Amino acid sequence: MGRKPCCKNKFGMMKKGSWTIEEDRKLTGIFLKYGQCRWSDVPKLAGLWRCPKSCRLRWINYLRPDVKRGPLSESEERVVISLHSKLGNKWSQIASHLPGRTDNEIKNIWNTTLRKKLIRKEIDYQAQKSFSISFCSSDKKKDEFADHQSEGNSQSWVTSSVHTNSSRSSSGGDSGLSHEFQMEFPGLDFDDHRVVNHVLPTSKRSDDDQEILKSSPNQSNSSEYDKVDRNSPESSQYLSNVDIDWDSFIDELDQLIPKFSLI
């Protein structure tokens, strides 16, 4: 489509474009008759003027009996997002975790629906981040913190806040954040080392963060985040404090400031 053809036979061009019902029937017939065979033989056996790659793609992405069609379920979306964060654009590997889904389908869904959803969430997050920073300086925050403290979840709330402000890949290091939070929350010990060592995963540390760790020789150089066995039940609470759940966080802030509305 719009590019030079990749396949020719001795008579000239192979057929391109959308597959017809008749072509689908011929291709399916080959698999019913012979089972899996060499893709290079398929067009000839099926009597199709298509290149082997085209046949393979049509079979894998559309005709294969176990192909699941339709939109992704919520759980499937979560799996895709989670795996993409770990694997990147390894669509075939991601698809292998979703029975009936193809790499092409996952790729399409990611490039259309999911990426937009995440961009929207990022916008939400940036708005939240700006709000959070200005919020730090208000007296009202101290009151809200006191409420959280009395409910016994102040550490979690502050850790979330620190992590929010520490997710700064685009804005560079800011070792003043711990100071800012310590000033705001005098009841908690949040020096730079603790912020870096206990909150930031190793992969998110900047050079400045590494220097902070070096300056505290008695401390391990690996993050508590990285030490957690994520499969253990005990880890879920810890990780929930570190891997911020945006929906919960936004809900939390919505409760704090009812007038604050998200984009």
Partner DNA sequence: AACCGCTGCAACCGCCAATAG
Partner DNA sequence: CCTATTGGCGGTTGCAGCGGT
Which residues in this chain contact DNA in the complex, by CB under 7 A? 1-7, 16-19, 38-40, 50-54, 56-58, 61-62, 69, 71, 89-93, 103-105, 107-109, 111-113, 116
Q: Can you state the angle between helices 154-166 and 176-184, rounded to 10 degrees?
A: 150
Complex with DNA: residue 50 or 205, whichever CB lies closer: 50
Shortest distance, position 204 Cβ to DNA, whole Å: 22
Shortest distance, position 36 Cβ to DNA, whole Å: 9
Complex with DNA: residue 24 or 191, whichever CB lies closer: 24
Distance between CA atoms of 8 and 51, rounded to whole angstroms?
A: 8
Partners of 13 in the β-ladder? 8
Shortest distance, position 105 Cβ to DNA, whole Å: 6
Query: Helix H segments across 47-201?
Result: 52-58, 74-87, 91-96, 103-109, 115-136, 139-150, 154-166, 176-184, 192-194
**Two structure tokens written together for 65:** 């009996």
What residues have CB less than 8 Å from 54, skipping those under 6 apart? 7, 14, 16
Complex with DNA: residue 106 or 213, whichever CB lies closer: 106
Distance between CA atoms of 92 and 104, rounded to whole angstroms?
A: 8
Shortest distance, position 220 Cβ to DNA, whole Å: 35
Cβ neighbours, 10 Å, residue 158? 22
Complex with DNA: residue 68 or 230, whichever CB lies closer: 68
Complex with DNA: residue 122 or 151, whichever CB lies closer: 122
Shortest distance, position 50 Cβ to DNA, whole Å: 7
Partners of 20 in the β-ladder? none
